[in-house]
Amino acid sequence: MKKQWFEWIKAFAIAAVLAVIVRVFLFAPVIVEGPSMLPTLHNGQHLIVSKINYTVGEPDRFDITVFHANNQQDYIKRVIGLPGESVAVQNDQLYINGEPVEEPYLEEQKQAIPSGQDLTDDFTIEELPGGHSTVPEGYVLVLGDNRDNSTDSRSIGMVSYDQLVGEALFTYWPLDRVGLTD
């Protein structure tokens, strides 16, 4: 009888250790707070974030990333500018190193705004906090998909790799939005 109890306790202990390892080093659940990533992500949406993606690799353009904005709060935004790149928006067109780059995830929003208005106010990287001419090494420039209502690199500056928690990969709640993030 004692042996059976010992086996059960050992199984639960192993499961607990594995759960802690997965949670701390590999994946984390995150809940979207606020409207800054609409219509891609909605307030209250539950996501799985891969911590390992940025441990063994670096962010890619258009990744949806979670980062520590301060000691109490994490933000979720889209990676737009990578190290060494010049970034600007003119007349609702994103430019990376002077070349136009399409943002297909914004097309629906752009079509919904009145003619003559822009979804994203014009800016150049030099105008952002820090006054950089390019995204510094070890940093990314991030923007929310809801460009009118997002606290992002336009107000907080560049985000260092050290602040990155991970890449949002999968939505698991609510059920009607279950699937890969895009």
Q: Is 47 exposed, middle or buried (0-12, 13-18, 19+ CB in 10 A)?
A: buried
Both tokens assigned to 97: 């190193």
Q: Quick check: is 77 catalytic?
A: yes
79 vs 59: CA distance, rounded Å = 7
Catalytic residue among 36, 51, 150, 153: 36
- What is the per-residue burial (b if ≥16 Cβ within 10 Å, else e) of 49-84? bbbebbeeeebeeebbbbbebeeeebbbbbbbbbbe
Annotated catalytic residue, options 51, 77, 150, 153: 77
Active site residue 133: no
Q: How far apart are CA 142 and CA 131, in angstroms?
A: 15
Residues with a catalytic annotation lie at 36, 77
